[in-house]
Amino acid sequence: MPSLPSLEMLTRVGFAARGLMYVVIGYLALRFGQTESGEGALGYLAEGSGKLLLGVMALGFVAYGVWRVSEALLDTEGHGTDAKGMAARIGGALSGIIHIGLAIVAANLAFGRGGSGGGQSGAEQGAATVLALPGGPLLLLVAGAVLIGAGLWQLVKAAKADFLRHLDGRVARQAWVMWLGRAGYAARGLVFAIIGWSLLQAGLADSAAPVGGMEQALGSLSGTLLAGVALGLLLFGLFSFVEARYRRINDPNVAARLKGAVRA
């Protein structure tokens, strides 16, 4: 089992990997009008000499995902068990699971096992799978509402700038850091809301066709709005680099929380 210092180091690599992924997504949309998902950005990095880089990113994504899931289970940030706290913890756990999935994508690309380009997006395929389940349309409606709520939460974070409390105090007081985070969270909030809306439409229509991921969400925008959101995503990538260096990761009470969880 990796020690806490090594897990912390790899988690910081995960923040940097997330940052690079968002910088690529934002850059491609700004420079070429090319909209991509996280998987698409990793595929772009795989071209040329990016295989070693993707291997390192895969390790970082795994550590980041494990950290986010354990953070949610142990409530190391003290969110609590009320509705607001549980929503934050569930969101953290889902983020962790998503990043573990990105680790698998990055590892496959690093070893030359890229996915095939099918006619459906990954989001649409996932929605089709959900629709085949009992109560599938209702599940999509719930998922859409949750994702819209997550988007609104990102917008609230952008407005309040409460993400700064997780950074080292010296850096958190820098205005440029605050505005990087604000722009990034606002852009992500809008993208999440668009994806959530597509899930609501799919649930109402009992069809996976309306569902899209980040690539389709960005593709639904145009002109100044697309440029603004793309710039925001690029800035979120830069903010992730700041987090890679200055994010507070270890909680001094982790051991006590683990003991309490075991006793419970």
Could you give the 3-state DSSP secondary structure of residue 248?
coil
Q: How many helices (H) and strands (E) does the chain have?
A: 11, 0
With the CA atoms of 227, 230, 234 and 240 taken in that order, what torsion angle do they form, in degrees rounded to the nearest 10? 140
Residues in the chain: 264
Angle between helix 38-46 and helix 4-32 axes, rounded to 10 deg: 90
The predicted structure's pLDDT at residue 258: 46
pLDDT of residue 146: 86
Q: Pseudo-torsion of CA 150, 151, 155, 157, nearest 10°?
A: 30
Instruction: Judge contact between 21 and 237, C-beta under 8 A.
Output: yes
pLDDT of 9: 87
Indicate the pTM of the whole model. 0.85
Domain ranges of the chain: 4-263
pLDDT at 48: 65
Mean pLDDT for back-to-back runs of 10 residues, the chain (264 residues): 65 92 94 90 81 89 87 72 74 84 88 58 76 86 89 93 90 94 96 92 85 89 94 97 89 49 49
Task: Assess contact for 238 and 187: CB atoms under 8 A.
Answer: no
